[in-house]
Structure 1
Amino acid sequence: MSFDQNIIVNLSVISPVVSQEQFATFIGATPDTVRGWVENDTLPHVKLGRSRYINIIAFVDDLKNGKTIFSRGDYCND
């Protein structure tokens, strides 16, 4: 998966974590696609209760640091 690092994200209006469905809507992907990325540790995520949420802070930090390619297993140690 590849992202344009020139996208400006205003963190003051975004929650530190979002549901997989919200993230899918935000980036224009299907919820099933995002779910697969979470299951394959392609996106930074946290488990809250029985659900996994996308860690927006880690995601945006990676984009700011120049990460443009997100691959399977990138977040398996998080």
Structure 2
Amino acid sequence: MEVEELNASQFVNCPPLMPWRQFANWIHMESEQETVRGWIDKGYLPTVRMGRHRMVNVVSLVKSLLEQEDY
């Protein structure tokens, strides 16, 4: 699955921030967590650092996905 294949409808009723490993599991990439980590390292997924933890900013991701649907 590529980042482009993510759909905003997947993010209904989700928390605003999610640990990146939990996010990987949530989008059914549990066996490819390092791919998700790569997306984060390349800036494909918006994140927030909270102490030692890297959290995916799900709100920013959903907003970006919704904006892309407008084109």
Q: TM-score, normalised by structure 2?
A: 0.75
The one-letter amino acid of 1:27's match is: I
SS of match in other structure, 2:11: coil
User: Where do 5+ consecutive residues of structure 2 fail to align?
Assistant: none
CA RMSD between the two structures: 1.9
Question: Alignment identity in percent?
Answer: 29
SS of match in other structure, 1:54: strand
Q: TM-score, normalised by structure 1?
A: 0.70
Segments of 4+ moved more than 4 angstroms: none
SS of match in other structure, 2:61: helix
Larger helix proportion of the pair: 2
Count of aligned pairs between the two proteins: 65
1:64-75 to structure 2, matched below 5 A, reads 64-66=66-68
